[in-house]
Structures are given as structure tokens and as C-alpha cells.
A and B are shown apart, each in its own frame.
Chain A
Amino acid sequence: MYYSIQHITAFRYSEPISESVMEVRMQPRSEGAQRCLSFQFRISPKAGLTSYRDYLGNSIHHFDIPGRHQKLAIVADSIVEVRPGLVVPERLPDDAWQQLDGEARTSETLDYLLASALAAPTDLLYDLAGDLDIRRRDDPLTVLRAITEAMYHTFEYAPDATEVDSPIDVALRTRQGVCQDYSHIMIALIRQLGIPARYVSGYLYHRTGNSADRSARDATHAWVEAWLPQLGWVGFDPTNNLICGERHIRVAVGRDYADVPPTRGVFKGSADTELTVAVKVAQTDDLPILDDIQPETYTSGAMTSSQEQSQQQ
């Protein structure tokens, strides 16, 4: 399956600003069943672009715009191939909990067991764990499937209930939120069980016509990966009650949202920022024509950066 994705981010500032410095995490990953075949990045106003890969394998692009500007636009176009991946079994063997304990604490996966700032347990989280009867039973995979489903039924999808920097308690109190809240809460829940968990930012391809997907179409998306013995990292989408497969396009992974925001920036000046994000994910069975596209080129247009990012839906 091939996808072409366009991700447009536009910032408008109430006053002219200068010296904006911005980091962008928008290039889909190439690993496992997914390949990023092409990635094109355009910034306006014009800026020199630098990129690197961090220790998690995420591609980060960054640039700065020294002069005064009142608008900034970023257009990221990518073409991604996703093949059928790992077939997730119905359940894991009975000794899977012991295997998990033996391996998870004595390797780098330990980093995903420790609480991270945005997915740290709170009293409300413990209450939820009690309400949903979340504890070790059966095998880890069965428990993860159950938590994914319970999250889906317990929380109402409500785009205006939380902000990009809301702590999990806001969603826990109202039982409403977006994919970012679902993911942080589920991460905190499963780390309590001793299962390493990480945050994935990316896109979900929504089928045309009637879709059971609850997360917003044409938006960025986020979900959870849990580390399991024998299987490695397996994706769970609590917002849509799915085990992740060919429709989930992975961009960046981290301990929580703070490690993977699509954009993060700092500028000089005192201005209110208005942020607009537009995402298009289209699917074809054949490889789209690549003639016009050279990977990692960038052209110019008109605009700058701001304090934070766009909330993932």
C-alpha cells in the first residue's frame, strides 16, 4: 500500500517577530514494514534546512529565520509504502509475564517503563486503573487488547476538551479527550503493569465512505506502542480501538508527546500565535509518480515559528 501525505503548518503572528528557530518532526520513519520513499520539505520564508536522525531513529529537520516576519508556513510532502507487517497472535504463552520481567528491566526498554513527564501516574490514573480493573492476568497481549478496548469505551472523543499541553488529569476528570490524551493515559496505565510503552506520532489513513474511525480525518494522529517478548514493539490505537497495521503511518516515537511534537520553536518578540494545520492522506495501490519530486528538497514562500506545536488529533 502506498500513501501520499501532505502536512501543512501555518503560523500567523499578531506582531512581527524575528530570530525564530524551529525543529520539525514530520518525516515518516523507514523501518519494519514501512518505507518513506520520498520526503519534500518547503519553508516560507526561505530558510536553510538541516536535518539529522536522533537516537530513537526519528528524523528531525530544523531551520532558523533571523529577519522580521509575521507568517511562517511549512509544507511536508511524503510518499510512504506500508506493507503488511507482523501478524499479532491472539495471545502470548503463559510464561510471557516472566519473560517480560526478565528482559524489560535489563535493557534500554527500561527507559519506557519509567514515568515520563506527560505520562506520569496521578491519583486519578490509579482510580481509573481500579475502575477498569487493570492488573496482571492472562498474558500481556490479552491485557493490552482489553485496555485498548476499555480506553475506547471509557473516553469520549472530544477535540475541544483538552489543550496540547494538558496534563492527563484534565482528560481523566472529564473522560474526554483526543488521541494524545488517550495515548498518554494508556501509556501510564501499561507502564504500571511493567510493560514498556512509548508514544507514536503519525497519520491514520481513513478509508473512504463510512468509517468506524473516531479520530479526526485529515489530521495528525497518535497512538501507543508496547514492548512484548518475542514480538518487540506492537502498536495499539486506543482512540479507534485498533491494533495498528497498514493504515497507521509512523513518523516519530518517544517516551511521550514532548519527545515528538511535529513542530517546536522559539522566537524573539511578543506576539500571539495563530496556528493552522492541514493534513491530507491519500492512498494508491501503485507507486505514485515520483518524477517531479526530489527527496529532501525545499523551496521558499513567506513566514516563522512559535512557542509550541500543533495538537495531535
Chain B
Amino acid sequence: MTAAPLLPSPFSDYTCDRACYDEMFNRDAEPRAHYQKLYERLGDLSPDELLSRQQTADLSFLHQGITFTVYGNEEGAERIFPFDLIPRVISSAEWKTIERGLTQRIIALNLFLDDIYHEGKILADRVVPYDLIYSCRHFRREMRGVKVPHGIYVSICGTDLVHLNDGQYVVLEDNLRVPSGVSYMLANRQVMKRVFPRLIADYGVRPIDHYGRALLGVLESLAPPQHHHPTMALLTPGVYNSAYYEHMFLARLMGIEMVEGRDLLVHDNVVYMRTTSGLRRVDVIYRRVDDDFLDPLTFRADSRLGVPGLFNAYRAGNIVLANAIGTGVADDKAVYYYVPDIIRYYLNEEPILANVETFLLSDPVQRQHVLQHIDKMAIKAVGESGGYGMLIGTHSTAEERAKFADLIQANPRNYIAQPILALSKAPCFIDGQIESRHIDLRPYILYDGQAVTIAPGGLTRVALRRGSLVVNSSQGGGSKDTWVLYD
């Protein structure tokens, strides 16, 4: 790590970290072209002015009640999602590549899901091994042979990208079940419009506020064609879910009902919503409840969050669920390893966005290698998300490493390893000054079987602790607005 020449205030204490890509500054510590105006504007502002804008932003989040819940501590505490004042800027050229890559990926993953729940050609052709799929916890045998509208399994996706030192964006993981965070993307923009109204207007930032309409459009397109005015609802696990705020936000944004399992009822294989004026048939459910908890008759019998009989109504085509049931098999972190091959297999194209180098721990040779270098690896449980069930070798104790080594030996299929990535860094306003912090990017992708719609940008997550590489909100991360520029 070498310190670059000192920059003028308010960047006087800013260090360009040569070990990773700096979003704002190039190798010579000059601002990149698409950051130039932002750099100048920030230079005009005194630390006091920045602080006052940060306070305005924080207050705005507090008033909107934008919170999330952290699991794993006693209180189940609800927190404000920390917001960083300085936007992340993505050039038009960078975005074009990202957009093409994500489009290619969601199309291929949908073809993959359709295949493994029907013919299983990719398995018979030995491109993806049978045992990988059949041993996947999120593979739903009940879905075999079940037709879903337009053959689309994943219509709502959030894919995590990281920007590496060579300037390349790579895919860290796909979130194909119930990706969250899009409400923060939208809220961040609203707040930025209040805090930097002129800058954002002059900068040529592509808007994202059509996301709600686009999401509603996707849900409508999945409804049975005979229903001209389909009734849609968002199914939430309830107030104890970490993303409850987001569920409310999205339901309100789309003007649809938010329901819990107990608000729904299946009768004669049709799903109804209990309303004050009696039962009302529901056609499409944007479900934010995991497969396991959707229907105690078919999945976990102890679930109190689901709707008994929902699966049978679904398999009969009487209700649409978005995303479909069983999509988790395609974002299993060991299946992720095969996504480049999956793209080649179905689309006969080379992947536009690369994967991160990944070691499959079910393979004895790779496992041996990983166990020998565990202090330099990130170990992840294949079916987890949100930064849970994970070890960062460089930031771990010997005890933690030994625990993970035992876990891997006991169930190698359940873990993968990746080298620890140098996530890019971006300037953040922290404790009254601008410092660099690691960030990633989660764009939100919508797919109705015809067109792929990606809100330009996405959620840039920030690892707020100095030196930390973990950006998950549940693990002390924050976020910032993401600006994709016009050509």
C-alpha cells in the first residue's frame, strides 16, 4: 500500500490504495473523467457544509423509517441503514458492459432452471453433474414437470458485482430467490435529489424511478392472459423480517396489497385474500417468503408464515408466484461455479461478465488446496446469503479457521472457497472527512420473458469499517447512491 500525493481539501487525508481499484482516482491520483465534476463540487464544499448535508440526509432516512433488522444478536435490533453522502459514479461505457453481461446471465439462468426442472439435458450432457443438483438444498423436486408462466423462473434478480483492480467488473453472486435492497436504491436517490439537487440535475444521471412501474409490469405480464385486471399482492413474512420496511415500501410503490400468510386462504385450489368485504381472488403474488416457508403442506410443516395448499394451487396454474419456487438451486454457490458453462451451453456465447475464481470443496484436490491456504481464502456456505455462514481468512482467528476446516471436512458439498478479492474503493464521507472504503454493486434486474429491464446502477454497498471487505447491511455495511451517466 503506497500513499499517493496529498490532494487538496477535502481530500487532504484521502489515501489512494494501490492494492485495489479506486473509483474516483486513477493511478496518478487524478480524478477519472466521469468523476471530475463531482470532485470539483466536493472541493467547493467545506467539511461543515458536507456535515450539514449528511445530517439532512440522515434525518430524511429517519423520518421515512428506512430500517432493517439485524439477526444474530439478542435484540433483533432495528437499525437505520447507514447512508453515505458521496455518490458512486459509473460511466456509460462501463454500464453498457454490465447491462449486456447481466442480461446474458439472467436469460441463461432461466433456461437452466427450466431445463433442470423438465428434461435435464444439461445434466444428461454432463455439463453440470447430477449430484450437484440433487444434493442442493434448494432443489425442489416438487417443481419437476411443473409449468411456470412463459417458462420464467427468475423475473426479479439482484446480482452482486465487484470492480477489480484491472477495472473489470466480475460477478460475486447471483441472488435469484428474494433479493432485497431495491428500496434503498430508490430511497438513496430521493435523498440525493434533496441534498444535491443541482449537481444531480446537471450531471446527466440516468433516472431509476421507473423501477416500481417496471416491477408491476413484470408481475402483470406473468398473470394468466384471461385476467385483464389481475389482483396482485406482496407476501411478506411479517414485521420480524429484516426487509419488512422494503416490503411495505414496494407494495405502496406499486399500489398493491401487502399480505401475510394468514391473510391468504386456499379453497378448491384457488388462492383468496381475506378482505373486510369478504374473500377476493388473487392472481399474482410477489412473494418475499422463502420456499421453505411458503406452504406447510408441501414444505416445512412447522412454518407459520405460509399458506396451506398454496403449492398445489401454484402447480395447477391458479396462482403465479414471483419468483418461481425452486430458483435457489441456480444461486447455490457451488452451482455458481458452473454459470460460465451454463451460459455457453444454452446461449452458445462467451460470458460477458466473468465469475470470481471459485474452489469446489467437494473436490478432494481443490479442498486440499483450500485447507492449506485457508488464511487467504473466503469460505462461504453454498446456500446462505446476506454474509451469514462465511469466513474471511485474512480477518479470522485461528479458532475460527479451525472451526471452518472442521465444517468443510464434515460436509464439503456445503462450502466453496474464493480468493479474497480486492473490492474497489470509493470516497466516503466518514467522521467529518473523506476516506476511501470498499464497495460492491447490486444491480436489480427484471425479466418478463421478452425483455430484460435493469434500473441503471443499483445499490452500491459500502463496508463502513475501515479495511473491512464485508458490505452486507447485516454485517455493518452502508450504502450510497449510484449514478450511471448518459452517453
List chain B residues, Cβ under 8 A from A19: 265, 308
Q: How many angstroms between the C-alpha atoms of A307 and B267 in the bound complex?
A: 18
List chain A residues, Cβ under 8 A from B130: 105-108, 110-111
A234 contacts the other chain (Cβ, under 8 Å)? no
List chain B residues, Cβ under 8 A from A111: 130, 134, 141
B26 contacts the other chain (Cβ, under 8 Å)? no
Inter-chain contact B297/A266, CB cutoff 8 Å = yes
Minimum C-beta distance from A36 to chain B (A): 20
Inter-chain contact B316/A266, CB cutoff 8 Å = no
B255 contacts the other chain (Cβ, under 8 Å)? no
Q: Which of A50, A54, A114 contacts B131 (CB 8 A)?
A: A114
Inter-chain contact A52/B268, CB cutoff 8 Å = no
Q: How many angstroms between the C-alpha atoms of A107 and B145 in the bound complex?
A: 17
Minimum C-beta distance from B146 to chain A (A): 8
Inter-chain contact B145/A266, CB cutoff 8 Å = no
A167 contacts the other chain (Cβ, under 8 Å)? no
Per-position binary interface string of chain A over residues 46-61, scored 1 when its CB falls under 8 Å from any chain B CB and 0 otherwise: 0010101011000000
Per-position binary interface string of chain B over residues 385-400, scored 1 when its CB falls under 8 Å from any chain A CB and 0 otherwise: 0000000000000000
A64 contacts the other chain (Cβ, under 8 Å)? yes
Q: Which of B134, B141, B266, B296 contacts A55 (CB 8 A)?
A: B141
Give chain A interface residues in 177-220, CB to chain B under 8 Å: none
A62 contacts the other chain (Cβ, under 8 Å)? yes
Minimum C-beta distance from A45 to chain B (A): 14
List chain A residues, Cβ under 8 A from B266: 21, 64
Inter-chain contact B312/A62, CB cutoff 8 Å = yes
List chain A residues, Cβ under 8 A from B134: 110-111, 114
Q: How many angstroms between the C-alpha atoms of A110 and B144 in the bound complex?
A: 15
Q: Which of B142, B297, B312 contacts A50 (CB 8 A)?
A: B312
Give chain A interface residues in 45-89, CB to chain B under 8 Å: 48, 50, 52, 54-55, 62, 64, 66
Inter-chain contact B268/A64, CB cutoff 8 Å = yes
Q: How many angstroms between the C-alpha atoms of A162 and B315 in the bound complex?
A: 34
Q: How many angstroms between the C-alpha atoms of A307 and B296 in the bound complex?
A: 10
Chain A residue with Cβ nearest B296: A266
Q: How many angstroms between the C-alpha atoms of A88 and B267 in the bound complex?
A: 47
Q: How many angstroms between the C-alpha atoms of A64 and B141 in the bound complex?
A: 23
Interface size on A, residues (CB 8 A): 22
Chain B residue with Cβ nearest A65: B267
A265 contacts the other chain (Cβ, under 8 Å)? yes
Per-position binary interface string of chain B over residues 293-336, scored 1 when its CB falls under 8 Å from any chain A CB and 0 otherwise: 00011000100000011001001100000000000000000000
Chain B residue with Cβ nearest A308: B301
Q: Which of B124, B268, B312 contacts A23 (CB 8 A)?
A: B312
Per-position binary interface string of chain A over residues 102-131, scored 1 when its CB falls under 8 Å from any chain B CB and 0 otherwise: 000111101100100000000000000000
| A66-B142 contact given A19-B308, A23-B297, CB 8 Å threshold | no
| A21-B131 contact given A66-B265, A106-B126, A265-B297, CB 8 Å threshold | no
Minimum C-beta distance from B65 to chain A (A): 33
Inter-chain contact B267/A64, CB cutoff 8 Å = yes
Q: How many angstroms between the C-alpha atoms of A62 and B297 in the bound complex?
A: 11
List chain A residues, Cβ under 8 A from B269: 48, 50, 62
The majority secondary structure among interface residues of chain B is loop
| A52-B315 contact given A21-B297, A21-B309, CB 8 Å threshold | yes
B224 contacts the other chain (Cβ, under 8 Å)? no
Q: Which of A48, A110, A266 contacts B308 (CB 8 A)?
A: A266
List chain B residues, Cβ under 8 A from A280: none
Q: How many angstroms between the C-alpha atoms of A108 and B196 in the bound complex?
A: 58
| A110-B142 contact given A21-B309, A50-B268, CB 8 Å threshold | no
List chain B residues, Cβ under 8 A from A52: 312, 315-316
Inter-chain contact A21/B301, CB cutoff 8 Å = no
Inter-chain contact A50/B301, CB cutoff 8 Å = no
Minimum C-beta distance from A21 to chain B (A): 4
A264 contacts the other chain (Cβ, under 8 Å)? yes
Inter-chain contact A66/B297, CB cutoff 8 Å = no
Q: How many angstroms between the C-alpha atoms of A62 and B312 in the bound complex?
A: 8
Query: Which of B126, B266, B296, B308 gathers most chain A CB within 10 Å?
Result: B308
List chain A residues, Cβ under 8 A from B265: 19, 66
Per-position binary interface string of chain B over residues 108-138, scored 1 when its CB falls under 8 Å from any chain A CB and 0 otherwise: 0000000000001000101000110011000
Inter-chain contact B135/A266, CB cutoff 8 Å = no
Inter-chain contact A62/B309, CB cutoff 8 Å = yes
Minimum C-beta distance from A173 to chain B (A): 24
Query: Which of A19, A21, A23, A48 gathers most chain B CB within 10 Å?
Result: A21
Q: How many angstroms between the C-alpha atoms of A215 and B226 in the bound complex?
A: 53
Minimum C-beta distance from A257 to chain B (A): 14
Inter-chain contact A48/B268, CB cutoff 8 Å = yes
Per-position binary interface string of chain B over residues 455-475, scored 1 when its CB falls under 8 Å from any chain A CB and 0 otherwise: 000000000000000000000
List chain B residues, Cβ under 8 A from A307: 301
Q: How many angstroms between the C-alpha atoms of A123 and B316 in the bound complex?
A: 42
Return the 6 tightest CB-CB contacts between A and B, nearest first.
A55-B144, A266-B308, A21-B309, A21-B308, A48-B268, A110-B130
Give 10 A-B contacts (CB < 8 Å), ordered by A residue. Answer: A23-B312, A48-B268, A52-B312, A52-B315, A52-B316, A64-B267, A64-B268, A64-B308, A106-B126, A114-B134
List chain A positions with a Cβ less than 8 A from chain B.
Answer: 19, 21, 23, 48, 50, 52, 54-55, 62, 64, 66, 105-108, 110-111, 114, 264-266, 307
Not counting A64-B268, A110-B130, A264-B297, a sample of 18 additional A-B residue pairs whose C-beta atoms are within 8 angstroms of each other reads A21-B308, A23-B297, A48-B269, A52-B315, A52-B316, A54-B142, A55-B141, A55-B145, A62-B269, A62-B309, A62-B312, A66-B265, A107-B130, A110-B134, A111-B134, A114-B134, A114-B135, A266-B297
